[in-house]
C-alpha cells in the first residue's frame, strides 16, 4: 500500500517537472521561478497530497490566462508583466506551502491554505484584468492611470472576487 502511494506521488512529481518545463518554455516563468514552483509543489504533494496541489494548479491556469489576456493592450500601457520571477512564485505560494507542510498534522491549516490560494488568485486577477479598465484611487476616488499604486477598478475588483470564489468552490 505504501509503495503504491509513493509511486503515485512520484507520478505527480513528474507532472510538476513537466509543468515547470512548460511554464519556462512558454516564458511564463523564469528558470529559477520554475524550479521554485516545482520544489513548492513537491512539498505540497508529499506533506498534504495531490488534492491540495490541484488548487495551486487552478491558480496557475487562471493567472496564466489573465496575464495573456489583452497582452497587446497591456504592452501599449506598459503594464504587461510577461515572464514572472522567483519573487512572484514565492510571494504567491509561500504561505500556502507552509500551510500544506503542517496541514497533515493540523487540520485547521486547510482553511489557511485555501485562503492563501484564494488571496493570491484574487490579487493576480484583479491586477491583470483590472488594468484594462479606468482605475480610481481608493482614498480619493480620482481617476488615475492604470498601474498606479493604491488604485482599483470595478473590473479588477470583480475579477478578483470571481477568482477567489473559483478557488473557494473548487476547494
Give tens-digit pLDDT for 64-90: 999 888 778 777 777 777 788 999 999
Q: Tell me what the mean pLDDT of segment 99-103 comes to.
A: 85
16/50 Cα distance (integer angstroms): 11
Domains contained in the chain, number: 1
> Residue 58 is placed in which grid cell?
487552478
Higher pLDDT, 82 or 157: 157
Q: Rounded mean pLDDT of 132-143? A: 90
pTM of structure: 0.87
Query: To the nearest whole number, what is the mean pLDDT of the chain?
Result: 88
Task: Assign 104 a pLDDT band (cuts: 50, 70, 90).
Answer: low
Q: How many C-beta atoms lie closer than 10 Å to residue 105's C-beta?
A: 9
pLDDT value at 130 more than 80: yes
| Res. 105 pLDDT band, cuts 50 70 90 | low
Domain span at residue 151 reads 2-170
Q: Is the pLDDT of residue 5 over 60?
A: no
CA distance 57 to 158: 21
Amino acid at each position: 500500500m505504501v509503495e503504491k502511494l509513493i509511486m503515485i506521488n512520484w507520478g505527480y512529481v513528474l507532472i510538476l517537472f513537466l509543468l515547470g518545463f512548460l511554464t519556462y518554455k512558454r516564458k511564463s516563468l523564469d528558470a529559477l521561478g520554475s524550479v521554485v514552483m516545482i520544489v513548492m509543489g513537491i512539498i505540497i504533494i508529499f506533506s498534504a497530497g495531490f488534492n491540495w496541489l490541484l488548487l495551486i494548479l487552478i491558480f496557475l491556469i487562471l493567472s496564466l490566462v489573465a496575464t495573456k489576456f489583452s497582452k497587446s493592450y497591456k504592452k501599449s500601457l506598459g503594464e504587461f508583466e510577461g515572464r514572472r520571477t522567483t519573487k512572484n512564485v514565492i510571494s504567491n505560494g509561500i504561505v500556502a506551502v507552509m500551510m500544506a507542510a503542517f496541514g497533515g498534522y493540523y487540520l485547521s491549516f486547510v482553511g489557511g491554505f485555501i485562503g492563501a490560494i484564494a488571496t493570491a488568485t484574487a490579487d493576480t486577477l484583479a491586477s491583470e484584468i483590472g488594468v484594462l479598465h479606468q482605475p480610481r484611487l481608493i482614498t480619493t476616488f480620482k481617476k488615475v492611470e492604470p498601474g498606479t499604486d493604491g488604485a482599483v477598478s470595478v473590473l479588477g475588483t470583480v475579477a478578483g472576487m470571481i477568482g477567489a470564489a473559483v478557488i473557494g468552490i473548487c476547494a
